[in-house]
Amino acid sequence: MSGIAQAVSCLDGYDPEALPVDKAREAIRACLTPVADVESVLIRQSLGRVLAQDIVPGIDVPGHDNSAMDGYAVRFSDLNSTNEKKETTLRQIGTAFAGKVFKGKIQPGECVRVMTGAVMPQGADTVVVQEVCRADQERIVIPCGQKAGQNVRAAGEDLKAGVPVLKRGQPVRAAELGLIASLGIAEVSVKRRLRVAFFSTGDELVSIGTPLQEGQVYDSNRYTLHGMLQGLGVEIIDMGVVRDDPAKLEAAFREGAARADAIITTGGVSVGEADFVKQLMARLGEVLFWKIAMRPGRPMAFGRINSGADSAFLFGLPGNPVAVMVTFYQFVRDALLVLGGRTDAFEIPMLKAISASSLRKVPGRTEYHRGILFRDGGEWKVRPTGQQGSGVLRSMSEANCFIVLEHARGGVESGEPVGVQLMDALA
Ligand code: AMP
Ligand code: MG
C-alpha cells in the first residue's frame, strides 16, 4: 500500500465517499512532513516567517532595576509609616536619567530624582511619583501612604537570561520582531519559505487580456488563490490556465512537482468532469479522491504527485469560485501551515453569534454560509449574504465571516446561536 493510502486507512471512520470535514483535515495532516530546510535571515526579514530555533535570552530585559515613573527614588524604610499620617522630608543628592546612571549610593534620609527608565540608584528600593511630592530646593517632602517597591521595574521582568521565550515553529509577528531586537539579536534561523504552485484547469477559462468568446469565463480562481496564499507568506508560483488536454496537464503536474512543495489545482475533480484529469492525477502519484460532507466544496483530491526524483503534495480543489475559497481555508491553509513548520495553535477561532434569520440546513454535512456579522445594540448578530450559490463569488466579497453550521445540525431558527469564523482571522 502507498504511504498516503496507508496513513489515512488507519483513521477511524475514514470514508472517502462521505468524509466529514474534521476527518479530511486529520487525514491530510497524517500525511504531511514539514519542510526541513532552514536559513538565517536578518531579523526584519524574519517577519511572517516561521522560527527554526528557540530564542533564549542571553541578557535580562530590562538589564537593571529601573524607575517606571518620573519621581524620587527613596529607601522605603526612611518613610514615616502610613498610620502616623506624617510626611517625610528627604534630601535630594542628585538626579538619574534614562541612560545616565547616578553613581553614588543613597544614605538614610536621602533621595535621588529619577526619570522614567533611569537605573535605580544604589540603596533605593521605591519610587514616589513627582506629582505627589513637594520640592523646596534640595528638601523633598514625601506624603505618607507609599508602598514598598512601588514604581520600580525589576531587572528581567520582561525577559530573563536563560529562560526560553520563543519556540521554534512559532511565527514571527511585529511583537516578536521587537522582542528579538530587545535581546540585541541581529539574525535568526527560520524555515525556508514553502513553494506553492497552482494552475486552473478548464477549457472554458481564459486569462485576462483575451476577449471572451461565447461560453468562456475569465479565470478568477488564480487571483483568489494568489490573495489567499499571499496571506500565508508562501512563495507563489502561478502556472496559469491549463487546457483540459492530457499532455498539457501532465506537463503542468510535472513542472509543479519540480518547482514546488505543493500544487493546488482548481476544477476537474467534480463528477461531471472529464475523467482523464483524475486518471492523470492518479497515474502521476498517490492521489485520493474524496467526497467531503460539506457545502460548498464536496469533491476534492489530495495526495502526492511524483515526477522522477521530484514530488509535491497535491490539493485538487473544485472549480467553483466559492468552493475554492472554502476548501482552501478549511484544508489547504491548515496543511500549508503545517508544511511550513508551524507548531503553534493556528486553528481558525470559532466564535458564537446570534443568527438574525432562519437558515436552511440538512444534517450530515458541514455548511459554510457566507455571513455578515453586525452589532445590534449590545449583541453580535449574523445574517447571510444574499445568494449562496457556490458560483456566486460576490457572496464572499460581501461577507465578513463564514457562518459554520456543524455536521449534525439541522435548520436554524432566527435567534439561535451559530458558529462564525471571521474572515480577518483566516490568513
Ligand atoms: P469544475 O469543477 O471544473 O466542473 O467547475 C465548476 C464551475 O466552476 C464551472 O462553472 C466552471 O466554469 C467554474 N470554474 C472552474 N474554474 C474556474 C476558474 N478558474 N475561474 C472561474 N470559474 C471557474
Ligand atoms: Mg472544469
pLDDT digits (tens, 9 = 90+) for 292-329: 999 999 999 999 999 999 999 999 999 999 999 999 99
315 alpha carbon to ligand 2 midpoint, in Å? 15
Alpha-carbon distances of 398 from 82, 349, 383, 387, 403, rounded to whole Å: 62, 20, 11, 11, 13
Residue with cell 524604610: 77
The answer to whether the beta carbons of residues 355 and 384 sit under 8 Å apart is no
267 alpha carbon to ligand 1 midpoint, in Å? 6
Kindly calculate the radius of gyration of the chain based on its CA atoms and give it in whole angstroms. 30
Mutational test site, ligand 1, from 200, 201, 212, 217, max ligand atoms within 8 Å of CB: 217
- The overall average pLDDT reported for the chain is 95
Q: What is d(CA 142, CA 347) in angstroms, rounded to the nearest whole number?
A: 53
Indicate whether residue 319 lines ligand 1 (CB < 6 A). yes
pLDDT per residue as tens digits for the range 137-182: 999 999 999 999 999 999 999 999 999 999 999 999 999 999 999 9
Q: What is the pTM of this model?
A: 0.94
What's at 196, amino acid-wise?
A: V
Q: Would the CA dihedral through 360, 365, 371, 377 be positive or negative?
A: positive
Instruction: Please state, as a whole number, how many other Cβ atoms lie within 10 Å of the Cβ of residue 358.
Output: 12
Q: What is d(CA 313, CA 309) in angstroms, rounded to the nearest whole number?
A: 14
277 alpha carbon to ligand 2 midpoint, in Å? 9
Say if residue 82's pLDDT is above 70: no
pLDDT of amino acid 83: 60
pLDDT per residue as tens digits for the range 184-211: 999 999 999 999 999 999 999 999 999 9
Closest ligand 1 atom to residue 201 Cα is 16
Indicate whether residue 67 lines ligand 1 (CB < 6 A). no
pLDDT of amino acid 276: 79
Tell me the three cell numbers of residue 265. 489545482
Q: What is d(CA 249, CA 203) in angstroms, rounded to the nearest whole number?
A: 12
Contacts of 297 (CB under 8 A, 6+ apart): 317, 318, 323, 326, 327, 330, 368, 390
Check whether the bond before 296 is cis (ω within 30° of 0): yes
Indicate whether residue 321 lines ligand 1 (CB < 6 A). yes
Contacts of 321 (CB under 8 A, 6+ apart): 220, 221, 224, 390, 391, 393, 396
Q: What is d(CA 28, CA 4) in angstroms, rounded to the nearest whole number?
A: 9
Closest CA to 53 of 66, 39, 67: 39
> Atom 17 (ligand 1): residue with closest C-alpha?
319
Q: What is d(CA 76, CA 315) in angstroms, rounded to the nearest whole number?
A: 66
pLDDT of amino acid 5: 87
Residue with cell 436554524: 412
pLDDT per residue as tens digits for the range 13-64: 899 999 999 999 999 999 999 999 999 999 999 999 999 999 999 999 999 9
Pairing of strands 235-242, 195-201: parallel
131 alpha carbon to ligand 2 midpoint, in Å? 73
The answer to whether the beta carbons of residues 150 and 11 sit under 8 Å apart is no
pLDDT per residue as tens digits for the range 97-130: 999 999 999 999 999 999 999 999 999 999 999 9
Contacts of 178 (CB under 8 A, 6+ apart): none
Instruction: Find residue 40's DSSP bridge partners.
Output: 189
Say if residue 1's pLDDT is above 80: no
Indicate the SS3 state at residue 246: helix
Confidence category of residue 278, pLDDT binned at 50, 70, 90: confident
pLDDT of amino acid 254: 98
Closest ligand 1 atom to residue 266 Cα is 16
Q: Closest ligand to 216 CA?
A: 1
Mutational test site, ligand 1, from 266, 275, 317, max ligand atoms within 8 Å of CB: 266
Phi, psi for 274 (deg, rounded to 5): -55, 125
For residues 218-232, average pLDDT: 97
pLDDT of amino acid 9: 85
Instruction: Please state, as a whole number, how many other Cβ atoms lie within 10 Å of the Cβ of residue 132.
Output: 13
Indicate whether residue 251 lines ligand 1 (CB < 6 A). no
Q: What is d(CA 253, CA 250) in angstroms, rounded to the nearest whole number?
A: 5
Q: Closest ligand to 218 CA?
A: 1
Query: Which residue did the predictor score with more confidence, 189 or 274?
Result: 189
Indicate the SS3 state at residue 415: coil
12 alpha carbon to ligand 1 midpoint, in Å? 33
Q: Which helix (H) or strand (E) holds 366?
A: strand 366-376
pLDDT per residue as tens digits for the range 370-387: 999 999 999 999 999 999
The answer to whether the beta carbons of residues 84 and 97 sit under 8 Å apart is no
The answer to whether the beta carbons of residues 119 and 167 sit under 8 Å apart is no
User: For the sheet containing 195-201, what is the strand order?
Assistant: 235-242, 195-201, 262-266, 310-317, 299-307, 285-291
For residues 245-254, average pLDDT: 95
The answer to whether the beta carbons of residues 164 and 221 sit under 8 Å apart is no
